[in-house]
Amino acid sequence: MEHNFGSCRSPKPLVTTTRPNQLSNPWFPNLWGESKVSKLFSLFSFPLSEAAECLRETLLVWRQAQDKGIGSPKDVAATLHSLGNVYRGLVDATSAQRCFSAALQIREALLGAAHPHTARTRHCLALVGCSLGTPGEALEELNLAMDGLLQNLGSKHPWTLQARLDANTLMSSRPGSAGSQNSMGI
């Protein structure tokens, strides 16, 4: 089956995986587990590399729109965040880090550090940091993300719960840090 998404076409099915976002790293061996996302991935019929290309093309369109005085930096940040997630799926942590860092910079400037979208981008950046071998910095970022999520969404919101779970997973998997607590008391 072929879908036409602008210039993004593919007759090939998506590479099959049960955990499309799982990064191969020692800190989060099975962070994502089975999720709604993994079940939805089978609905897409183009590979992640083509999704990345579509999002890169979208960024060019946003840049052209901004050059003409139209468009929104919030849309650019959302596209960069999405592209970061695609790169995570492709296990390209360096590219994911660049995308999430740029999205975080925009979101912090426009929305503030505690906004849920900013916190979510910070959370994703922290996960990528783990795969790049910076678990200490990643834990700091996760704590900042949890602060913003707790403040704005509360302790029972799924984003807050996921950030807490990821911080607990990181803390329990770090050598020499068993039993330690972060600033959130977890």
DSSP for 91-142, written as a single string: T-HHHHHHHHHHHHHHHHHHH-TTSHHHHHHHHHHHHHHHHTT-HHHHHHHH
Angle at 105 between CA 93 and CA 140, to 5 degrees: 65
Overall domain count for the chain = 1
What's at 63, amino acid-wise?
R
Neighbours of 184 (CB within 10 A): 14
> In this prediction, what percent of the chain has a pLDDT beyond 70?
68
Tell me, yes or no, whether 185 lies in a domain.
Answer: no
Tell me, yes or no, whether 12 lies in a domain.
Answer: no
| pLDDT (0 to 100) of residue 46 | 59
Mean pLDDT of the chain: 75
| pLDDT (0 to 100) of residue 5 | 30
Tell me, yes or no, whether 33 lies in a domain.
Answer: no
For residue 129, give its domain range. Answer: 42-173
| pLDDT (0 to 100) of residue 172 | 85
| pLDDT (0 to 100) of residue 109 | 95
Distance CA 99, CA 95 (A): 6
Tell me, yes or no, whether 121 lies in a domain.
Answer: yes
Asked if 182 and 139 count as a contact pair (C-beta separation under 8 A), the reply is: yes
Tell me, yes or no, whether 183 lies in a domain.
Answer: no
| pLDDT (0 to 100) of residue 45 | 55
- Nearest CA among 53, 45, 54 for reference residue 16: 45
CATH of the domain at 158: 1.25.40.10
Tell me, yes or no, whether 84 lies in a domain.
Answer: yes
The answer, yes or no, to whether residue 48 has pLDDT greater than 80, is: no
Higher pLDDT, 47 or 23: 47
Task: List pLDDT tens digits, range 83-109.
Answer: 999 999 889 999 999 999 999 999 999
Tell me, yes or no, whether 165 lies in a domain.
Answer: yes
Task: List pLDDT tens digits, range 117-140.
Answer: 999 999 999 999 988 988 889 999
Asked if 134 and 140 count as a contact pair (C-beta separation under 8 A), the reply is: no
Tell me, yes or no, whether 52 lies in a domain.
Answer: yes
Q: Give burial (CB, 10 Å; 0-12/13-18/19+) of 131.
A: buried
The answer, yes or no, to whether residue 36 has pLDDT greater than 80, is: no
Q: Which structure tokens are listed for 100? A: 């999430």
